[in-house]
Amino acid sequence: MALKTRVTEMLGIEHPIVQGGMQNVGYAELAAAVSNAGGLGLITALTQPDAKALRDEIERCKSMTAKPFGVNITVLPALNSPDYDAIAKVVIESGIKVVETAGLPRCREIWEMLKPHGITVVHKCTAVRHALSAERNGCDIISIDGFECAGHPGEDDVPGLVLIPAAADQVKVPLLASGGIGDARGLVAALALGAEGINMGTRFCATKEAPIHDSVKQAYLANDERGTNLIFRSLKNTARVGKNSVSDEVVRRLAEPGAVFEDVRELVAGAKGRELLQSGDMDHGIFWAGMIQGLIHDIPTCEELISRMVREAEEIIRGRLGGMLV
């Protein structure tokens, strides 16, 4: 069975399943595996040290798949901001046709660079008002992220069961549902709620092709739906990460009266998180994880995961749900 939606048609993919653009995880190995399985893989631009390295990674991915894949460009506040113009230029010159963006208003400048080249822009949002703004500014697809998601869920705390249909009621461009989705039940539910595809991050981390240490993958299996911490809440920059001794300490320190980011800077350093993913030392830094951990029970290949999800989605739609019609 194939699930045909506006998302599959616009992205040129077989199944309406998109890999999240994850820092220090979105390398060519994973992106190519997802695309080869019929979904859309994404290379994460900021995982690469500079635009030239991104160009090389795109070429490496092309050598691993003949199917469509995209690039994630996340705009983050930073003292030494990446050269986003150079990144966008590499994406354009490399012939990439799909870009996922996320982050600050600077994204609008990136969209203006990409759109004249026929690039499909997917923008990640955590609120309906943000989705409508992105739509007005020309984005082609909205990835709407519920409170369950890993990374930054925003400050409204609206879960996907409400956020997805709320967005579908107002947004005219296609929606990808993100956050708390990792199996066929989530895929079918997202479609029923008004989305035309899904975006998965944490679930793809627990696959054989994910370029991270096996100890990290085992942590996703061991944790249940309660195995995350919300950090930076008091700083109005909420982030959902995996529960470990480091994220526990971040929560403790920031709960102190008058606590500021400097109190936890050394704990949440990006370099430490990258080293954790590579070494498997689960108490070295923080790692991104969503509540979907509670529904992750194995480490399949991307092909096995996507094929299983699509097959089981058909069984749910034609079998269980169809059998309820009288």
How many of the other CB atoms lie within 10 Å of CB of 62?
A: 15
The answer to whether the CB of 159 falls within 8 A of the CB of 185 is no
Does the structure show a pLDDT above 70 at 292? yes
User: How confident is the model over 62-86, as a mean pLDDT?
Assistant: 91
Exposure of 128 in the CB half-sphere (CA atoms within 13 A): 14
Greater confidence (326 vs 273) lies with: 273
pLDDT interval class at 79 (50, 70, 90): low
Q: Which of 93, 88, 22, 105 is nearest to 290 (CA)?
A: 22
114-134: per-residue pLDDT in tens?
A: 999 999 999 999 999 999 999
What domains can be seen in the chain, in order of their start residue? 6-211+298-324 (3.20.20.70), 228-288 (no CATH)
Given a cut of 90, is residue 304 above it in pLDDT?
Answer: yes
Q: Please measure the distance between the N-terminal and C-terminal CA atoms of the chain and give it in whole angstroms.
A: 24
Whether the per-residue pLDDT at 313 is higher than 90: the answer is: yes
* Residue 296: pLDDT over 90: yes
pLDDT band at 325; cut points 50, 70, 90? confident
Q: What percent of the chain has pLDDT over 90?
A: 95
DSSP H or E run through 309: helix 302-314
- In tens, the pLDDT along 208-254 reads 999 999 999 999 999 999 999 999 999 999 999 999 999 999 999 99
Mean pLDDT of 127-146: 97
pLDDT at 81: 85
Task: Assign 2 a pLDDT band (cuts: 50, 70, 90).
Answer: confident
- Dihedral sign, Cα of residue 17, residue 149, residue 210, residue 141: positive
> Model confidence at 105, in pLDDT bands (50, 70, 90)?
confident
Predicted local distance difference test score (pLDDT) of residue 1: 67
Residue among 19, 7, 77 nearest 46 (CA):
77
Global pTM value: 0.96
Average pLDDT over residues 8-36: 97
Mean pLDDT, the chain, integer: 96
pLDDT tier at 175, thresholds 50, 70, 90: very high
> How much is the average pLDDT of 67-84?
89
